[in-house]
Amino acid sequence: ETGVTQSPTHLIKTRGQQVTLRCSSQSGHNTVSWYQQALGQGPQFIFQYYREEENGRGNFPPRFSGLQFPNYSSELNVNALELDDSALYLCASSAPGQGLSYNEQFFGPGTRLTVL
């Protein structure tokens, strides 16, 4: 069983540029969540996708957007990059509901984004 994978591992961009980060969910998982983890901080929820629709969003501006594809992989897009966007971006996938109202999230290794 393949776990959650993310690409690229590292990325360097300059202010004002746009970036796309990718996530492949674990086999059988149809829900993907994205988190931003700034240096020395805990992860913060950006948004979640379920069956290709956004299903909850955290306190992030609209320049953070996402997509989920029919194979349940996902992209995180950030426009007009700012220095404060420098962080580790984590993707997590979870399985369809099986009688529990909460399903465990499995995290990928993350993408380290540096904005100069």
Interacting residue ranges for another protein, rule: CB under 8 A: 4, 31, 33, 35, 40-45, 48, 55-56, 58, 90, 92, 94, 97, 100-110
Q: How near is the Cβ of 80 to another protein at its closest, in Å?
A: 25
Q: Which of 32, 42, 37, 52 is nearest to 85 (CA)?
A: 37
Which of 24/31 has CB closer to another protein? 31
Does residue 58 contact residue 44 with C-beta atoms inside 8 Å?
A: yes
Q: How far apart are CA 94 and CA 32, in angstroms?
A: 7
Which of 19/31 has CB closer to another protein? 31
Contacts of 38 (CB under 8 A, 6+ apart): 44, 84, 86, 87
Q: How near is the Cβ of 18 to another protein at its closest, in Å?
A: 24
Q: How near is the Cβ of 28 to another protein at its closest, in Å?
A: 16
Q: Which residues pair with 66 in a beta bridge?
A: 76
Which of 13/57 has CB closer to another protein? 57
3-state secondary structure of 87: strand
Which of 12/80 has CB closer to another protein? 12
